[in-house]
Structure formats: structure tokens, C-alpha cells
Structure 1
Amino acid sequence: MNVSLLPIDILFQLCAALDVNDILSLRQTCKSLCTVTRERCVWHQALISRFVRSGLPTPGLHETDLTSLPSAALEHLVVCAHRLHSNWTSPRPQATRRADIHPTHRAWPAIGARNLAAEFLAGHGGRYLLTLTLFDSSTESNNRRFSFECWDLAAPERPVLLAEFLVASILGYAVNTEPGYPHVLAVLRREDDRVMTTTYTLDFSRPGENPWFRRMNQFNSYRNTLGIHGKYYFATNPGQAVYMIDVETGRLRAEMQVPLVHNDPTIRLPEHQCINFEIFEDFVLTFRKQWICLYHIPAQDPASDPPKLLPIAEYKWRWRIDTIAVSPRRTSRPPGAPPTLDLLIRFDTWYPWPVNILHHFALSPNPSYTRATYAPADRATFPYLAAAPPADSSGPGQAGDRGQRVVCQVLARGAVAVPAGDELRGLTELGEDAGDDLVSPGHPAGDVERMFGASGGQQGAGVLMAQEEHERWSRVAMCEAEGLVAVGHVDGSVTVLWYAPPAPSVGEAVGGEVGEA
């Protein structure tokens, strides 16, 4: 039977079931099928079903109106996303482009420069990179200078410096993780006998003008910065409470406490130290050294004092945590539904160094969650219930055996098979059974195959991991959506690596070379 003679709607259904490479190969069979594979609906369906709904990174999709894109532009997006996904998931991902950034030379005498941070600014498609460099002229803190610099990575030849901000001393900093908010950068400093946080903005909306760091607000703060998300700044102090501050007004929004030990406020356990947080609507998850705590933030009453809150749900790990990365899963979900949170954890030890074994856990949302008014007695109004023991993860993996620095991030891999029963109430570590010891290294042989092979489920997330072969790395940043990685070095320089291919030209997208993607 001649496939090209089938009705056009049948051919469209056939293309919807094919992989990207198969569609491009089908194009090369005959002119009629070549015409079919150039139809806009073919590539729109491939983009939505294979990448957007699965939460897979799609370079160039940032703030793009899909309804206005022609067929060739949609094909460019799909082919680029497909090539990036193939590169991400290969045994050794290869960078397609590299650029080196060097800090601006300073007039004052300096022994050396060291990169302290590299952060992609949210909401700009990986275009702008913020770096923090320490210039140290002696061992005395008053002879140190810090430089924040914003770089444009979309410049045609090499990254271009757009703005810089110099400061004599800082205690901490945070870059806003929520796009669209003017308070881009928060800097924590000590002024006289007070700890103050100052927020800055970068305005990219004026054509032909370079942005600059413009001060937005300054307010009293706390010793340790946790981060800034949208309009809220989070900090903690030795008392182990987490403070939520409105950056627009500088007012304390809420104080999230931990239960007292023996009803004694002077007892402070290291296990309660907060190291990360995540926000969902009017709920906040704090990730502490040995606890996950869920808080509900009540409606604000300007006439009353900020509330002091205790957890409404909590979970205690068996071991203390050294490092944790929290990534909300980007797979499609019903409107208003909380996302699954991927947790990449390195546990602490009794030794002077953490164990270089990475554990991937998935904190699933409450399956019975409804967006009703929060009620303490109604568990259906809790977005997460961290009450069950961990179960099921991609298993611990040895990342290094000599204490090397390791960079890794949980990456989207598509839809995940959801386990049934009480396992949804808490954490999931893929590859383990509910009764297994989920913290000790190793897992029973065959568990990964049972979860992802025989069961037919798809892996919900992958991990991109790079291990240095020298001692120059200091900081790493990642923009998964655009396939970008920035590596800061101890000499102050920053290396930017592109893992997504350059967008193919129109002629390439419809030619034989694309069929070989």
C-alpha cells in the first residue's frame, strides 16, 4: 500500500506518533510526504506533546507566541529541543559553543581575583549572566572589594559587559528566581551595628541604553540570606527562625519558627538550620538540615504584628543534609495544582567532609489537594504531606571518591509514572522500596529496572553532572531551558558553555542535514 495515498488526517496522526528523527526521515521518501511534514500542525503537535507538556527544555521558546509562528519556525524549535535533549541525555554531553568572561581590570593593587557567584537572570531566556568577583589585596577584610557585573551573552562575537556595581563588603546576596519582578538583586551588608539588605534593579526595557544597578529599597534584615522569590526576601539567623520580608515595603511578613526543644528557647539544634526554601501560593516549604517543614502564610493584616508560625506538616530525615537543590518539576499539571519537587541531596557525615553520594528524591504533592480555604483540620487543603517515609528514587550514585567538587541539577525527562497509595503522601526516592533504608549507600539490584523497565513507566527526571578534573572551579550556574552552563573559576574568570545547537537556518531545516538530526 502506498502510504502517500492515505487521507491527510491519517498522515497527520501518523506523524504525531513518530519521533522527530522519523518525521525528518519520512520527509526524504517522496515529494508528497515531504509536503505533509512541512505542515504547521505537524510541528506544533510535536512541540506541544513531546516538549512543552513534558516540561523538557526548548531553547528559543522563552516568551514566544506560538500562535504567530510559521511552520519553519516551529520546526526550528522542535529540532533544536530534540538535539539538546539528545545531548543532555548522552553519556558525555558536548558543548557546541564556549565563551570565556574575565572580570574588569581594577586600578587598585590586588593579589588576585576569585569568582564567588554566577547566576542567570530569570525571565530573559539565559541571555543575561550576573557574576560576583572578589578582589583581595590582603588578608584583611577591609582591603577586599566585591564587583557585581551583568553580561550580555547574546552579543554576536563575545559576551559584553552591560553594568557593574562595586561594594566594599558584603555578608550575602540573592538573585530573584521569579521573572518579571523589578527587585533583581538583594545584597546583605553590615552598616554600623545593623544588618541591612539593599535591593537593586536592572532595567533592560530601554532600547539603545545599557542598564545599570539602580537601588530600589533598603531595610533591616537578618544575618543569613536564603534567597529572594518574587516580592519576598527570605533570611534566617542563629535562632533558626526563617523570616519572610516584603522587599517593596521592607516589612516583615511572617516569622517561621521550629518547635521548641523541652520548651526551652535557648536550645538550638543544628538539625533545624534552614538551607533552602520553596513557595507555592500561600504556603512555604523550608528545607532544614534534617527537617522539611510546611508553613501556611495567613492573609496579611497591616494593623497587627507579623505572625509567628509553626509547621503544619513536617518530615525528619534519618541523616543531616550537607547540600540540597530543589527543582519544581515543569511537567504539565492541572491549573492550581502544586508541582512535584525534585530534591538532589548530599548528606553530611561525622567526618570533616560530606559523602560524595548524590540522592535524588521526589516530593510528590498531596493527591487530594483542593484549592479551598486553608483549614488546619482538613488535610485536603495541604499542598504537601511529608508524613510518609521516603520511597522510590533514581538511587544514590557515587559522584566522586576524593572529595571533588561536583555540579549537578535535576533535569526534566518527561512524564513520570505516579505510584499509588500512601507513598504519595511524602518523599519518593526512585529505585527503593518503602521499607528499605533510603539513606545508606546502595540499593537492591534490579530496582531501577523494575521501576523504569518492566513497569513501563518513564523516568521523571535526569541528572546532569559534571566533575572537575582540576582545582579551578568555584561556582556553577545553569539555565536548563536554554541549555547553558556557566562555570566560575578561582582566578575570577567565568566559562559559559552552550549545549544547545545553533538554531538551524530555514534551508537547513528542510534539507537532508536536518534528517540526520
Structure 2
Amino acid sequence: MLLLITLQGPLIHRHFQAILKDFNQLNVPLARFPRQIFWNMATLIDLPTDIAHLLFCRLGIPDVLNMRQTCKNMHSISQSRVVWQFLLTSLAKQQRPIPRLFDRSFDSLSPAELEHLTRKAWNLRQNWMTKSPVVKKTLIIQLEPLPNQGGLPPTFEFMEKTGKRHILTLMMKGPMPEGFLYDLQCWDLDVSPPRCIAQREVGSRYLTVNKSLDSLASLVVQSPSIEFLGIDYSAEDPVSGFYTVSKLQNITQRPVALNDSFLVTQNDQSQLYLVQLQKNNDDHIELRSIFEVMIQNEVVIVIRRRILEIFSVGDINTSQMLIYPIAQHVFQWDIDSVSISPQTTWPQCLEHRYPTINLLVRFGSLLPWPVNLLHHFVLLPNPGFDGELHPSSNNLPYSDTPIVKRTISSPVRLFSKYHMALGSRGTAIFIDSHTEDYFHRGDVGQRLAGSYARDVSSVENDVEDSTEVESTMDSSVFGYRENDDWTRVAIDEEEGRIALGFLDGTIEIREYA
């Protein structure tokens, strides 16, 4: 705005002053103003193209779109590749999710694609941060629950493969001689209604998705032995959509974490086993109850009832049968539930081999406040870690103490259904019991709420700052209902999607981008 004033000099007309006063709201072509005003713009219009590009790159996205309406020259500049690649790069550096980007590089995109992705990412962020985000599209998957058996509600998880987003669902189908039979399905979310592209009956409700996008095995199931499955996305018949990549016949524990090198399994006594897939040997981690397990490069992060432990798996001796943690942290209270997710970071901004880890924790206690609060912890990379050496107690890839980034009010009633999920950028989505604002009573109903996180990498620079406390009213409300039919929630933050599971087998996918 100041640059425009400088360019106009003393010739600024009172009409043009009105435009400058409210520049962000500019939506009227300058040609509608008197000819004198139009010629006052000549110095801006006649600028060299490269200078005009630099000026446009300094504008916000709404301002670029407003300037597009002024004249043909501005319209042409506002469609240039330089402008939109710069703006999209700026969003990426701010760690904003970019829907539909997948694994494509910016250089491979056309100017029109760059503009489309930039506007979609900006609109998603604006919608996501409002008090009541607006659903742009709703998809319904109807699974058939097991009749008259009190079967478990469906479980589901988002996954990304081959440049598309899918959702895996698992639903109890019927009894069998040893337990129950489950229906495993993979759904394509790019069509409406969602289309089942792969289907298989399995003998267990335990599965784990491989987070490595280029891996042949997309997931692992226990059915009853450990079976690694791939997905044929071009299969004409869903029955042939899943195919077996490999099996581990001698392992019967349920899978809890998987990457290309290691598989972590758990037995009925909560004992963890680490399987090196190349060597097919297993070591075990000491016995205690397990809440969450995640493999990150050469470490395994384990969340127990009150302890976070980090195990090194980069240099395991084949004769070593028991693995001990290289670092651990004891929480103040026992954990009721937890969600863990690595922070997705634009590759050019990734300073460490190990990304920041987000943890969303609901504590359990006889005291009333721990269970009614969600704590967002971040486990930061250790800047002193030597990547040339394997992780050890003297060479930790992560700080051994999680930092509380924020505390979110999320009250739950006794015996009520509640659940939570953590997005790839740190956004917390949760089902709780805060319904008195909508039904004037707090003993019925459920609320779906969320809290958008600012860039968690900035926590590393302001560790000494006080904890950011967010009240119930600070959370975005995605919906509420007067019964307790919601059973589970999942989030695909990159695409702006939330999935809700219902008692009757319905899965509702809400799109906000």
C-alpha cells in the first residue's frame, strides 16, 4: 500500500485515497473511476514485469485476487508462475497443509495448478480456524454391523498411497471356531460415493498401516499369523484388491507398528517384540502395559501407562534378546488415552533427520481435572545428535523430556464415549461431553471439537515461554449431537478431512478443504 502511495505522488485523487484506505477490500475495477484516476496508476502498470512480480509476491492471497480485477496487465501478472509458486512456498514454510499436493514437487506443477493449490490451502486454513468450520462435502460409508451380537463398532484409519487418499475399515462380520471373522476393506475417497477397491476377510481385528509411502506392503494383519498385504489399486474386483506380500508363520503376536525395516508386535501379556524383517529374528522389550508404539528411523517410541520410553534399534546384536530403553520420561499422572504423530514438515524446512513428535494425552486420575484436559506435548529433536552414529544413551535423537505446548479443556462424563486423534500438523480433534452450551444440560450428548496448532517447531525457540492454555470456548466446534452414537474419530489433516464412526456401522467423512 505504501508503495502505491509513493508511486502516485501528489496526484492521489480522493477516490483513489478511498481505495488505498481499504485496500484489502478492493473489489472494483479501477477502469470504473474517472480517467484521471486511471492515468494516476500508470507508474504502477508500466513497471517492468520482474518488479511487478516482486510486488505481487509481497501481497496476501486475497490482495492478489483483488488486483487481478483492476486491468488486463494486473490480470496477466496475477496469473504468473512466479507469483503463485512464491505464495505456495510461503504457505509450505509456515507448515500449512496443502490439499491434493501429495508427493508432487512445485516445479512439476503448471501455473494454474500452483494457483489452485495455493487457494485451496489458504481456504482450508481459514475454514479450519473458525469457531464453526463449514463442511464442504460429506461422504458416507455404510458397513453392516453384526446383528444381535453386540459387535464392536468399526475401526478405520486414513492412508495415502500412489498419490491418492484412502481409508481402511475393519468391521466384525461373524463368529468362527476361534474368535470372530472381520471384514477388511479399502475405500477410494476421490469418488462419491466412496468406492471399495479392496476387500478381504481376516481372522483378527488387529492391523497396522505402513507409513512408508513407497513400500510394497501397505499394511500388516494378524490372520492368524502375521501377513503383509499390498493393494492393487487397478484391480477390477475388490476381492482381488488385497494381495499377500509375505507371511511370518512363526509369529502370532498382534502387530502394533511397522516400517520397511522393523515390525513391532505385542502379546497378550503386553510384552513387545521387535522383528527385524530382513533377518526375521525377534528381540523383546521389557514387560509392561502398552498404550502406543511408533517406529521413527532407528528408534522405537513406546508410551506406557505412565512412562515414555525411547529404544534404539539401529545396532541390535542378534544374540541380544532383551532391549532396554536409552531414554525415558515419567509423566505426572497415569495415561487414560494417547495419540502420537510425527510432525509433517516441508522437506526444505527439515533441519533434523528426526522430525518433531506430537503427543496428545488425556490423563486418568481420581482427581477431576486431569481427565477433563488434553495435554499437547512435543518431543523435540536433539540438535546435538550425531547422525553418523547409531542412537544411544549418549547420542539421543530426541530430547528425553516432552514439552507441554498447550492444554485444552475437554470435559468427559463418567461412562461416556470419548475419543481423540492427532493430525500430521499437530491439530487435535476430539469427541467429548461438553454439551451444556447446546442442550442446556451436561448429562447428555457429545461434541466434536478441534484445536489448530501453531507451528510446533517454534516451540524449540521459546521453551521458556509459559504454556499456551486454551479454554473450551477457544476450540473450534465441528459438530454436536444429543446422543452418544459417535465412537471414533480420525483426521487426515493434509486433505482437511475428518472421519466419524457410529455405533450402527456408519462412517462419515467430512471434507473442509
Q: TM-score, normalised by structure 1?
A: 0.75
Give the match for residue 509 of structure 1.
none
* Kept in 1: contact 2:204–2:222 (CA 8 A): yes
**Deviation (angstroms), 1:125:** 5.0
Deviations 1:392-432, CA, capped at 9 Å, x for gaps: 522232344564424342326447434559x59xxx98327
| Residue in 2 that maps onto 1:491 | 504
Q: Paired residue for 1:34, among 75, 79, 84?
A: 75
Q: Is the 8 A contact 1:256 1:309 kept in 2?
A: yes
For 2:255 and 2:368, how far apart are their aligned partners in 1? 24
> Which residue number corresponds to residue 130 of structure 1?
168
Equivalent of 1:197, from 226, 232, 245? 226
Alignment pair present for 1:83 and 2:123: yes
Residue 265 of structure 1 corresponds to which residue in structure 2? none
Matches within 5 A, 1:23-62: 23-50=64-91, 52-62=92-102
Relative CO higher for 1 or 2, CA cutoff 8 Å, sep ≥ 6?
A: 1
CA shift in 2, pair 1:220/1:377, >3 Å:
closer
Specify whether residues 34 and 442 from structure 1 end up closer, same or farther in structure 2 by C-alpha distance, changes over 3 A only: closer
Instruction: Report how many aligned residue pairs link the two structures.
Output: 438
Q: Distance in 2 between matches of 1:74 and 1:16?
A: 14
Does the C-alpha gap of structure 1 residues 255 and 416 become closer, same or farther in structure 2, counting only changes over 3 Å?
same
Matched, 1:116 2:164: no
How much does 1:249 deviate? 6.0
**1:398 equivalenced with 2:410 (yes/no):** yes
Residue number in structure 2 paired with 1:327 = 341
User: Which letter does structure 2 place at the counterpart of 1:314?
Assistant: Q
Shift of 1:183: 2.1
**Per-residue displacement from partner, 1:198-246 (whole Å, max 9, x unpaired)?**
2222122x47665522223133336454232334221233655422224
- 2:418, 2:488 within 8 Å by CA — same for their partners in 1? no
- Judged with a 3 Å threshold, the aligned counterparts in structure 2 of structure 1 residues 463 and 295 are, in CA distance, closer, same or farther, namely farther
Aligned match of 1:431: 468
Q: Do the aligned partners of residues 429 and 325 (structure 1) sit closer, same or farther apart at CA in structure 2, a change above 3 Å counting?
A: farther
The one-letter code sitting in structure 1 at the alignment partner of 2:194 is: P
Q: Unpaired segments of 5 or more residues in structure 2?
A: 1-7, 9-40, 428-452
Structure with more of its chain in helix, by fraction: 2
Question: Counterpart of 1:493 in structure 2: which amino acid?
Answer: T
1:287 aligns with 2:327: no
SS state at 1:72 partner: helix
User: How far off is 1:197 after superposition?
Assistant: 2.1
Correspondence for 1:365: 381
Match of 2:275 in 1: 245
Aligned to 2:242: 213
SS at match of 2:387: coil
Identical aligned residues as a percent = 25
The whole-number CA distance in structure 2 between the counterparts of 1:236 and 1:144 is 19
Is residue 199 of structure 2 the alignment partner of residue 159 of structure 1? no
How much has 1:489 moved relative to structure 2? 1.6
Offset of residue 164 of structure 1: 1.6
Matched, 1:348 2:384: no
Whole-angstrom distance in 1 between the partners of 2:243 and 2:320: 29
Is the 1:163–1:212 contact (alpha carbons within 8 Å) kept by the matching residues of 2?
A: yes
Equivalent-residue separation in structure 1 for 2:367 and 2:257 (angstroms): 29
Distance 1:489 1:233 in 2: 31
CA contact 2:337–2:361 (8 Å) conserved in 1? yes
Is contact 1:404–1:467 with CA below 8 Å preserved after alignment? no
Quote the residue 1:182 is aligned against: 216
Offset from partner CA, 1:320-363 (integer Å, 9 cap, x none) = 11111112122343454321111110001248998232111111
Q: CA 1:369–1:72 in 2, change beyond 3 Å: closer, same or farther? A: same
| Other structure's SS at 1:150 match | strand
Secondary structure at the aligned position of 1:383 is classed as coil
Cα distance in 2 for partners of 1:489, 1:394 equals: 29
- Cα distance, 1:346–1:415 mapped onto 2, change above 3 Å: closer
Deviation digits for residues 430-451 of structure 1 (CA, Å, limit 9, x no counterpart): 327xxxxxxxx999xxxx9xxx
AA aligned to 1:26 is: M
- Structure-1 residue corresponding to 2:430: none
The offset of 1:136, in angstroms, is 4.9
Letter in 1 for 2:173: F
3-state SS of the aligned residue for 1:55? coil
Per-residue CA distance 1:4-41 (angstroms, 9 max, x = gap):
33343333232222221121112122222221111101
* 2:420 equivalent in structure 1: 407
- 1-side partners of 2:479 and 2:380: how far apart? 27
Aligned to 1:150: 186
**What is the distance in 1 between the residues matched to 2:173 and 2:79?**
55
The alpha-carbon deviation at position 131 of structure 1 amounts to 1.0
The whole-number CA distance in structure 1 between the counterparts of 2:411 and 2:213 is 32
1:162–1:331 distance in 2 versus 1, CA, 3 Å:
closer
Task: For residue 481 of structure 1, give the secondary structure of its aligned residue in structure 2.
Answer: coil
Distance in 2 (alpha carbons) for counterparts of 1:377 and 1:68 = 43
Q: CA deviation at 1:317?
A: 0.6
Partner of 2:13: none
Q: Report the CA distance between 1:319 and its aligned residue.
A: 0.6
1:260 corresponding residue in structure 2: none
Relative to structure 1, the CA distance from residue 201 to residue 474 in structure 2 (aligned partners, 3 Å threshold; closer, same or farther) is same
Whether the 8 Å contact between 1:235 and 1:243 is mirrored in structure 2 is: yes
For the structure 1 residues 383 and 105, does the alpha-carbon distance in structure 2 shift closer, same or farther, using more than 3 Å as the test?
closer
- Tell me the equivalent position of 1:261: none
Distance 1:256 1:464, change over 3 A: farther
| Structure 1 residues 476 and 230: alpha-carbon distance in aligned structure 2, compared to 1, 3 A threshold | farther
2:310 and 2:338 mapped to 1: Cα distance? Answer: 17
Relative distance call for 1:112 and 1:69 in structure 2 (3 A) is: same
Residue 248 of structure 1 and its aligned partner are, at CA, apart by 6.2
- Report the residue type matching 2:213 in the other structure: P
What is the DSSP-based 3-state SS (H/G/I as helix, E as strand, rest coil) of the residue aligned with 1:417? helix
Change (3 A) 1:350 1:467: farther
Please name the residue that 1:95 is paired with: 135
TM-aligned CA distance change 1:480 to 1:468, over 3 Å: farther
Check whether the contact 1:273–1:288 (CA below 8 A) recurs between aligned residues: yes
Partner Cα distance (2:339, 2:398) in 1:
18
Deviation at 1:186?
A: 2.1
Q: Is the contact made by 1:278 and 1:286 (CA closer than 8 Å) also made in structure 2?
A: yes
Question: Structure 1 residues 309, 329: CA separation in 2 closer, same or farther (over 3 Å shift)?
Answer: same
Segment drifting more, 177-186 vs 122-131: 122-131
Structure 1, unpaired ranges of 5+? 191-195, 258-267, 433-440, 449-461, 501-517
- Measured in 2, the distance between the counterparts of 1:376 and 1:162 equals 43
Shift of 1:45: 0.8
- The structure number with the bigger radius of gyration is 2
